[in-house]
Each structure stands twice: as C-alpha cells, then as structure tokens.
Amino acid sequence: VAGVETLESVTIHSKDGSKTVIECTDWLPLFGLTPTLGPIGDWGLEIEKNSIVVDNATDYSTNIEGIYAIGDVNTYPGKLKLILCGFHEGTIMVQSAFKRAYPDKKLSFKYTTVMGGVGSLE
C-alpha cells in the first residue's frame, strides 16, 4: 500500500515473485473465508479477540478514519455473525463511505421490490 496523505497505489506480490502495481484511490481488500485477519492485523486497527472493533451505532467505522469493517471480520457489543447482519452492515457502511467520497452529491435509493430500480445519483 503506497501514498503520502492518501492512497495512491497497491502492489500485488505474486507467488512467482512478480509484482503488479495498481494505481488507485480506494481499495477493498478481501482475504478469503478463514477467520484470521492476515495483514490487516498490522494496520493499527483496534482489535479484540481477532476481530476489528467498529462503531456500530453509526457506520461500522474503525479507529482509523476512512476504514470500515463489515461482516464476520468486525466486532461490537451484541454482534451476531450471520450473513444477514453483514448485508445490513454493508448497507449502512456504504452510505457513510459515499458521503465521504462524494460530499456534494446526494445518494438516493428507490424501493426495488416494486419499482425494479437501483440506487441513483442526483
């Protein structure tokens, strides 16, 4: 992970020794289905019992600004490790992340069960 004040690129190290640099401003790391934190454990996040502590009262943010944790990787009082809970956490988190990425735009949702539409930007 590289950047001075913001993320600028991510370097992928392959098993064959090759490296690939991907320029980016955002990054969503996924480390598989094992209940271990992997390299995320070295980022300075608040960890409790091998899970990332989040603020579930607002947006599932961590102790590091701009980093969120949802699903089985996080913990908070009353946490249930159910896929349904992860979907809920993702819905709340993405609204906060959208506001952070696009502070001057409004995120609108449509009731998709009847209308068949998806979220849109206004």
Tens-digit pLDDT profile for residues 61-104: 999 999 999 999 999 999 998 889 999 999 999 999 999 989 99
Helix (H) or strand (E) holding 11: strand 9-13
87: three-class secondary structure by DSSP: helix
Considering its fold, how many domains does the chain have in total?
2
* 90 and 74 within one domain: yes
**Based on the domain organization, do 62 and 93 belong to the same domain?**
yes
- Considering the domain architecture, whether residues 68 and 109 belong to the same structural domain is answered as yes
Structure tokens at 24: 């980016």
Do both 48 and 5 map to the same domain? Answer: no
**43 & 91 share domain:** yes
Q: Is 20 helix (H, G, I), strand (E, B) or coil?
A: strand
| Tens-place pLDDT, residues 22-47 | 999 888 776 666 667 888 889 999 99
pTM: 0.65
Task: Let me know whether 21 and 38 are in one domain.
Answer: no
Judgement on whether residues 11 and 37 belong to the same structural domain of the protein: no
Same domain, 71 and 12: no
- Domain extent at residue 35: 31-121
